[in-house]
Amino acid sequence: MTRRNLIIGAAILVLVASLLVFLRRKPEAPTERAASIDPNVVELTPEAQQSVGLTVVEANEKPIQRVVKVTGTVSPDQSLVAHIFPLARGIVERVHVQLGDRVRREEPLVSYDNIELGQLIGEYLSLRGGLEKLDAQEQVAKKFLDRAQALIEVQAIAQREFELRQAEYEQAKAGVESQKAELARVEEQLHRFGLSDQDIGALGGSEHGTHRTASHSELRAPLSGVITRYEVSQGELVDRDKELFTIVDTSSLWVLADVYEKDIGMVAAGTACRVTVSSYPQEVFAGRVTYVSDFLDPTSRTAKVRCVVPNRDGRLKLEMFASVEIPAAEQRSSLTVPAAALQQIDQQTVVFVQRDPTHFEKRVIQIGDRSQDWVEVLTGVQKGEKVVTQGSFYVKSTFLKDQMGGEE
């Protein structure tokens, strides 16, 4: 019995000793491996890199052109705007267009009975009738003068009588010239009302009948465009100081932007610019700066800048908000990476920096200006570090996939 107890006791001592040794052992590989894992690093085998044509480029300093970024509003080109007023006082007979209509040059807008034109036609007809009488008087005076000339040569009349005939002719001739001048003045006014020489010549004929018919006037579009203002109705009495229509040719538009005082020195007329609007977020409309204001708004401390933007397809609309990028005239040397290296993760701009042939680290960066295919890097990457360009989206996808796997 005693021997058996000794054996059991010895066995217990061996087990206790083994347990103590086991408990005193330090953790090895798991702790070291966990310490070596970096959540911002993704591993890619050479085969995976080759399959996507992965390439890296060194971050380096390059001359980069600064870009002034401003907001603006799409506005009409004032050189392509027509404000339509009546030529004179009159009563509207018919309106041919409506607000928003597109019209072509010379298309009729409104017809009206032109009261002033009717009065002018009456004056013209009176002057024309008077001219016919004066012409007849001049012809008679010319005949008397010619006869007196023949008689004076044979001394059949006295010199005094010849001079009298000559004075009568000169007076008749002067009357004709004066009447023609008055008639020309009235004709010029008729031309301003849109009457052609043929129309004026036909005045008083059977095709016109009364002055009311002859004084019918039409206002026509002076340019092609869109009716943006419409303030007239049939039967309305209008005068020359009332604007009836506004027509805007939208084939070329202005974008009026506000540039802060600190950036004005970087903006110059003649510079090409890039315009974007929220309606077409992926499209850039090319424009050109044509004017930089000479004075600032005292409240906002900004200056107006005018950009001309072609709009032949009509997609830009008046009063749209626009974003404008204007390259500065000056360039500076800055740390840059290719734009193809940039990716977005969690609403942050990132690049993947190569740490060794198979490991790539995600870096959050802050970017500055862009110049063609290069982007200025303000923070996050050092000069000489290699960033992934071609294949950067694949690296991002693999990184996110590993992140999801780690969470599981």
Last residue of a domain, one of 329, 349, 371: 329
* φ/ψ of residue 107, rounded to 5: -70, 135
Alpha helices in 37-80 (DSSP H): 46-51
Domain of 316 in residue numbering reads as: 69-77+249-329
Summarised one tens digit per residue, pLDDT across range 44-65 is 999 999 999 999 999 999 888 7
Sign of CA dihedral 80, 83, 84, 89: negative
Domain membership of residue 121 (yes or no) is: yes
Domain membership of residue 215 (yes or no) is: yes
Cα(200)–Cα(190) distance, integer angstroms: 8
Domain membership of residue 36 (yes or no) is: no
Instruction: Name residue 247's amino acid.
Output: I
Does residue 261 have a pLDDT over 90? yes
Cα(308)–Cα(272) distance, integer angstroms: 10
Tokens, residue 392:
């950067």
Domain membership of residue 398 (yes or no) is: yes
Domain membership of residue 354 (yes or no) is: yes
Do 109 and 49 have their domain in common? no
Cα(308)–Cα(231) distance, integer angstroms: 29
Do 105 and 166 have their domain in common? yes
Cα(37)–Cα(34) distance, integer angstroms: 5
Do 323 and 345 have their domain in common? no
Structure pTM?
Answer: 0.61
Region 379-397: mean pLDDT is 96
Region 77-89: mean pLDDT is 93
Domain membership of residue 20 (yes or no) is: no
Do 195 and 241 have their domain in common? yes
Last residue of a domain, one of 195, 226, 245: 245
Region 149-155: mean pLDDT is 85
Do 228 and 86 have their domain in common? yes
DSSP annotation of 265 reads G
Do 353 and 240 have their domain in common? no
Do 115 and 235 have their domain in common? yes
Region 67-74: mean pLDDT is 94
Last residue of a domain, one of 182, 217, 245: 245
Residue 69 in contact with residue 267, Cβ under 8 Å? no
Region 105-113: mean pLDDT is 93
**What is the per-residue pLDDT for 27?**
47
Do 239 and 102 have their domain in common? yes
Sign of CA dihedral 35, 39, 41, 44: positive
Cα(40)–Cα(248) distance, integer angstroms: 56
Do 208 and 229 have their domain in common? yes
Q: How many domains does the chain have?
A: 3
Residue 1: count of CB within 10 angstroms of its CB: 5
Distances (CA, A) of 200 to 72, 98, 120, 128: 50, 31, 11, 11
Tokens, residue 276:
């974007």
Domain membership of residue 378 (yes or no) is: yes
Do 264 and 236 have their domain in common? no
Here the CATH number for the domain that contains residue 301 is 2.40.30.170
**What is the per-residue pLDDT for 371?**
74
Here the CATH number for the domain that contains residue 397 is 2.40.420.20
Domain membership of residue 119 (yes or no) is: yes
Percent of the chain residues topping a pLDDT of 90: 59
Do 214 and 146 have their domain in common? yes
Do 210 and 109 have their domain in common? yes
Tokens, residue 335:
């740390």
